[in-house]
Structure 1
Amino acid sequence: MNFNTGGSLLLFPSLAMLFSFLCLFLFLVPTLLAQSSDTNASSTSAAARALDTLLQDYAYRAFVRPKTGVLYDGVVPSNLTGVQIAAMRLRSGSMRTRGVEMYKEFQIPIGVVEQPYVERLVLVYQNLGNWSLRYYPLQNQTYLAPVLGLLAYDASDLSAKNLPELDLRAFGDPIKIRFSNVESVPKGSVRKCVWFDLHGLVEFSNLTAPNECSTIHQGHFSIVTESISPPSPAPGRRKKMQEMEKAADAGEALHMTTVGDTKAPSATVTRTQPTLETEYVP
């Protein structure tokens, strides 16, 4: 018997190569997708940090013959219309022993300390308004309030730019953020506080009071709720729609009719006109 093994010998290496390529493809795709996601997150975080640097510069420009403990509203560049900033210079010891009763939406209690120690510091306030989602995007979450920022900087040189943030921490009572103009949520939805630190970390927590969040750190804060997808049609209605679509494919003419706020197909019905007795012809 003469077996032609040449084709088989060529076939097996081809299958092996195809299998190897398939395994490599299945391994690389999730890796590439993960790298792409990490790159996007890193890019967003870098943009947010660049914004902090820019807003620090413009907040410091609000100081003209500044007085300690006085709030000064700043002006942002025209291409950031909608963002609000402010600055307040404080003595380090005064903030630690007295706190700040109310700085915009932030209530700073006694016992807040900065690291490293500086003689005077500046608290920069941010309200990102309609820019919140752009700089702090969240998947499957809807913002109910704008992102608010509270960052601390050295106040030794009020003309300085590109300053690093100080590490601000509350060692007693937490810092409270009392949001105003918080949007309402559908019945059954749960509101959550969200905190963004300066390194890309995101944490969710419960509200401590209506429209109020608390923190022991500086950073950016808001109130969010989980996004709700539009409801899918009921099973019975979905089945009816499928049957009507099949009828349309088979050639039966369908027309659209309005049911409540929804348009749905309906079959055309031809009614037989009644014949009057006077029209009857034998």
Structure 2
Amino acid sequence: MGLLGSLAMLLSVLCILCLPGLRAESHGASIDLARARSLDVLLQDYAYRAFNRPRTGIAYDGKVPSNLTGITISAMRLRRGSLRRRGVNAYKEFDIPTGVVVEPYVERLVLVYQNLGNWSAVYYPLPGYSYLAPVVGLLSYDASNLSATNLPELGLTATGPPISISFSGVRSVPGGSTARCVMFDLQGMTIFSNVSFGNVCSSIEQGHFGIVIESTAPSPAPVLPPPPSPTPAPSSSKSGQKNDNKKWWKIVGSSFGSLIVLSLLLMLVLWVQKYMQRKDLEEMENISEFEEALQICRIGATFAPMARSTRTPPVLESEIVP
């Protein structure tokens, strides 16, 4: 039973890994996680600076340093209980459903939105892939002190429907390629999933998201073939000999197959003949059992059949003893 249980567990894991949208690949080596996390710290500081007498549930766009032009940020303060009961509809590209759990416990939190624009491939490079849309991020922080910096992220997990990310301005997919959703979690893991209709990706947790396709490597420069061999004749004769050999084997094969078919037909004819002879013999034996042959006797100059004597000879009435 231990072996069967191990096999069943292995099959279950393989089935889960083969399901679309659940295949994860780690590209931590290609992403400078420390650099990406330092950018999150900087953008959290500048996003909090956008609050000026903030109102709950209102998005406030922030400004980034001049050396990061092209990146856009926004911040929204929410109550933890309200986020879980109501969710957030259309916060930039993000739709947050009801049932989202925030850990550890805080009374209020801030959702910081990031759009990395043309910096997407700089902070989140993916060798072998090209971005069809900029990387966008959603991170949650404690809102008890809106002037705090270097805050750790809170845990944000969807326990019901997943968080959906609707990308706009997605470049068209080249023919023969397939667009994929990509997610970068806070530990540097890269997770690929399928793109839903309308360029929508889904996730059960916070992080950074994008749409990519596999990039085709440039074709290598053509290599000039070596000069032709001065004796090409043997190769042609060899090829001709190979063709002759193939034809000969085809003829032999067809002849052998015809011989087998004829042998089977002959065996069938012999079997039918023997079967008919056996049936005739059985009929003659049946006739001999049920019919009695008459004896031939001579009466004068004539030969005529004569029945055998009866088994019970007649008895005169006078011979019957009373």
Alignment of 1:10-25 (within 5 A): none
- Extract unaligned runs of 5+ from structure 2: 1-26, 229-322
> What is the deviation of 1:185?
1.8
* 1:116 matches 2:116: no
Q: For residue 129 of structure 1, what is the aligned residue in structure 2? A: 117
Alignment of 1:159-198 (within 5 A): 159-198=147-186
Offset of residue 231 of structure 1: 4.1
For residues 190 and 29 of structure 2, the distance between their equivalents in structure 1, rounded to whole angstroms, comes to 15
How large is the Cα RMSD of the aligned pairs?
1.9
- Counterpart secondary structure, 1:180: coil
Tell me, in whole angstroms, the C-alpha distance in 1 between the residues paired with 2:123 and 2:195.
23
Identity between Structure 1 and Structure 2 (%): 63
* Count of residue pairs brought into register by the alignment: 202
Give 3-state SS (helix, strand or coil) of 1:161's partner.
coil
Of 72, 79, 87, which aligns to 2:67? 79
The correspondence of residues 235-250 of structure 1 with structure 2, limited to 5 A, is 241-242=224-225
Deviations 1:231-257 (A, max 9, x none): 458xxxx58x436xx69xxxxxxxxxx
User: Which range moved further: 169-178 or 204-213?
Assistant: 204-213
Q: Which amino acid aligns with 2:197?
A: A
In the TM superposition, residue 188 of structure 1 has moved relative to its aligned partner by: 1.1
Partner of 1:138: 126
Q: For residue 97 of structure 1, give the secondary structure of its aligned residue in structure 2.
A: helix
Larger radius of gyration: 2
Letter in 2 for 1:228: T
Q: 1:18 corresponds to which residue?
A: none
Equivalent residue, structure 2, for 1:97? 85
CA distance in 2, matches of 1:114, 1:39: 26
What is the CA-CA distance between 1:184 and the residue it aligns to? 1.0
Normalising by structure 1, report the TM-score.
0.68
Q: Secondary structure at the match of 2:36?
A: helix
Match of 1:208 among 196, 200, 213: 196
* Deviation digits for residues 64-89 of structure 1 (CA, Å, limit 9, x no counterpart): 00000000000000000000000000
Aligned to 2:144: 156
Aligned equivalents of 2:45, 2:220: Cα separation in 1: 49
One-letter amino acid of the counterpart of residue 213, structure 1: C
Query: Partner of 2:110: helix, strand, or coil?
Result: strand
Measured in 2, the distance between the counterparts of 1:177 and 1:207 equals 10
Gaps of 5+ in 1: 1-37, 248-282
Matches of 2:126 and 2:30, distance apart in 1: 10
Change (3 A) 1:229 1:53: same
Distance (Å, rounded) in 1 between the aligned partners of 2:42 and 2:220: 45
CA contact (8 A) 2:163 2:202 kept: yes
Residues 118 and 39 of structure 1: CA distance in aligned 2, closer, same or farther (over 3 Å): closer
